Every structure is written in structure tokens, then in C-alpha cells.
Amino acid sequence: MTPPATPAPKPVVAVTGASRGIGHAIVRHFYKKEWDVITLARTPFSQYCPWAEGFVRHITVDLSDSASITSAAAALHELLDGRGLHALVNNAGISPKLPDGRRMDAVNTPLETFLAVQHVNLIAPLLLCQAMLAPLRQVGGSVVNVSSIAAEKVHPFAGAAYAVSKAGLSALTRELAHELGDSGVRVNSVSPGEIETSILSPGTENIAKTQIPMKRLGRPEEVAEVVYFLASAQSSYVNGSEIPINGGQHI
């Protein structure tokens, strides 16, 4: 009698900033597609996440601290246990506001705040890519960076430090795609616009009415679907690209 076939191992994705909003939609989508999901976030594992025993695949990390990132990368290697990393999704990002909720412009952003934003939004993705390069190469994995429409145009709510960090992340995407393409690792990014989450700034609905041809906000799931496309074999010849997800706002 022929023994039953051993099921193929699940592909593995690591997602930063996975505790809410777009990040949570991303991990939910990958889970539904039967990927093994490892989350990295500043907060503990969320009880609302949808996969069984997810707490054993969560890594708490402070992306503003290089030492914490190094420690988290070591923990991620340990969880992989020799398996390759099929996708790294750099989704985490911070966008500080003034005390009254207004955007921080460039000339009035404290240097400490500016540097902290760069570290979380730009330096952390670079450090994680460097640290996880071997398991990514092992399986011809994919890196997906989550940039923003603020990287290409002045935004009424996203501050200057955030915009600069996301513009840098878009540039980093191109640089890494150029450097890693011949090793089988693809690097792409998505650029969301106004996405309906719990942390929308007041007035975002007006942007939808006046600046977005589709006249509505995006859903986190609509970002997750594009991220999944870029991480999967469906986009096997897509490298160094950035896909806007904004209902036509960029035009």
C-alpha cells in the first residue's frame, strides 16, 4: 500500500505592524491563503487575530531601536528553523501629529521626532531585509514594502517626516530590487492612499469626495490583496515596482 503523501510545507510570511488596520488585514489574507504567518509588532499578540495558536508565531519588537530589531531578527530565524522566508512585508509605520492633531511640517518637527520616524519607517525595513536575506534567498522570496501616497505629494494630514521616510522607502525598494534580482529575491512596494481604518484623521472623508475619482475610501482588504499578489508567484516577473492603491487619487 502506498503511504500517504507528505503535505508540502506552507510558505512563510513575516509581517511588521500586524496588530491593527492594514497590517491586520494583510495577516488575515495570508492566513486565509494558508500561509504560515509570523507577526512582528510593538504590542503583544492580538487575541482577535484569526489563526490558531498564533501567539507562538508573534515577535514583540520596537522598530525604533536597532538592538530590538536585531533581537527580533534572531527570534525570526529561530521560528523559521531552517525553512526559507517566502515573504517579508514591511508594513509598520508611524506618523506623529501635533498635540491638536494637525500635521507636523518640516521646519517645526523636532529632530528627535524626525529621526524616530525615519528609523521605524525606513531604517527598520532595511535592517530586516539585511538580517533575513539568507532565508529569503533560500526560497526565492519576496519583499513587499508599504509606502504611501504621501511619498509623492504633500498630504494634508501626513507630516513631513512621514513623507520623507516613505519617499525613502520607495527609493530603497528600487535599490534592493536592483541588487537582489539576480539572487531570485524580488522587492516591490505598494502605495496606499486614504484607507478606512480606526486611525483616520478627521476630514479624510472630504478628500474622498474631492480628490479621489472613485469617490470612496479604500478598504484594508484591498491593500492586503495587492500585497499578497506581490508576495506570491502570480507576480513572478514583477520587480522594483510600486503599485498605487488609492482609487485614482494620484492622478
Catalytic residue, candidates 31, 48, 162, 228: 162
d(C-alpha 214, C-alpha 228), whole Å: 23
Answer for the pair 192, 149: CB distance below 8 angstroms, yes or no.
yes
d(C-alpha 88, C-alpha 70), whole Å: 15
> Is residue 228 annotated as a catalytic residue, yes or no?
no
d(C-alpha 148, C-alpha 244), whole Å: 8
Give a three-class secondary structure readout of the chain: CCCCCCCCCCCEEEEECCCCHHHHHHHHHHHHCCCEEEEEECCCCCCCCCCCCHHHHEEECCCCCHHHHHHHHHHHHHHHCCCCCCEEEECCCCCCECCCCCECCHHHCCHHHHHHHHHHHHHHHHHHHHHCHHHHHHHCCEEEEECCHHHCCCCCCCCHHHHHHHHHHHHHHHHHHHHHHHHCCEEEEEEECCECCCCCCCCHHHHHHHHCCCCCCECHHHHHHHHHHHHCHHHCCCCCCEEEECCCCCC
Answer for the pair 18, 8: CB distance below 8 angstroms, yes or no.
no
Catalytic residues: 162
